[in-house]
Amino acid sequence: MDNKPIVALDFSTEKEVTQFLKLFADTQLNLKVGMELFYQQGPAIIYSLKEAGHDVFLDIKLHDIPTTVKKAMTGIAGLGVDMINMHAAGGKVMMEEAREGLDKGTGPNQQKPLLIAVTQLTSTTEEMLRDEQRSVDTIHDSVLHYAGLARDAQADGVVCSTYEAESIGESLGESFLRVTPGIRLNPKNAHDQKRVATPERARELGSTHIVVGRSITQAADPVQSYLEVLRQWEGDK
């Protein structure tokens, strides 16, 4: 998967996906399939998107005992996805098993999916971290801790907000991927996400990939919104 913006397919039916993608004609896109779409349409939606030439980030945030995650990752590798994620909170052993499962399930002529660890959700606030997760860390420190565990477990990168991307790049190396959701053309439209930023700001702060949903999928003109996201992300002034 290259570093073009990843468009979050925030839909529940294949019909909605098809109608949306028709707007982009033959453009090859990086697409995110999340729980809503995957759990209702199953692997068939992945096969359909791959057949159409798109790259797919399967965002289902695996978090279970190590053996279960390993077996799940082995099966997921066979779907042909380009990126898959898991919760770093599952621990280092779980993440190591996830890596083993992906390696085992990837065929000899397949490209290995990028393995990404979720640190703290962009909907998490400092108050939630303190009061609900009972953590004495700040979000920034918690994210950096999880990122270090993920790197040690041979993950390719992490999901993080723009606010942690720069520090992760500095401490873990620029080749360690920083996949950033919560991207908005208008940051005031944060919805349920708390730590949001524009594509331009994400680029400035060191994100390697950005995930954009509503700013494109719910725009009056999704194609023009995508092109504006791309322009900001690539720095084409």
Q: Which residues are catalytic?
A: 61
Question: How far is residue 225's CA from residue 135's CA, in Å, rounded to a whole number?
Answer: 38
Q: Point out which residues pair with 86 in neighbouring strands.
A: 62, 117
Question: How far is residue 63's CA from residue 159's CA, in Å, rounded to a whole number?
Answer: 14
Give me the DSSP letters along 139-202.
Answer: HHHHHHHHHHHHHHTT-SEEE--HHHHHHHHHHH-TTSEEEE--B-SSTT--TT-SS-B-HHHH
Question: How far is residue 4's CA from residue 1's CA, in Å, rounded to a whole number?
Answer: 8
DSSP three-state, residue 59? strand
Q: Please say whether the beta carbons of 195 and 122 come within 8 A.
A: yes
CA distances from 30 to 21, 58, 170, 182, 230 (A): 11, 11, 26, 16, 12
Q: How far is CA 116 from the centre of its chain?
A: 7
Q: Report angle CA 155, 156, 159 to the nearest 5 degrees.
A: 90
Q: What is the largest CA-CA distance in the chain?
A: 49
Structure tokens at 184: 């908005």
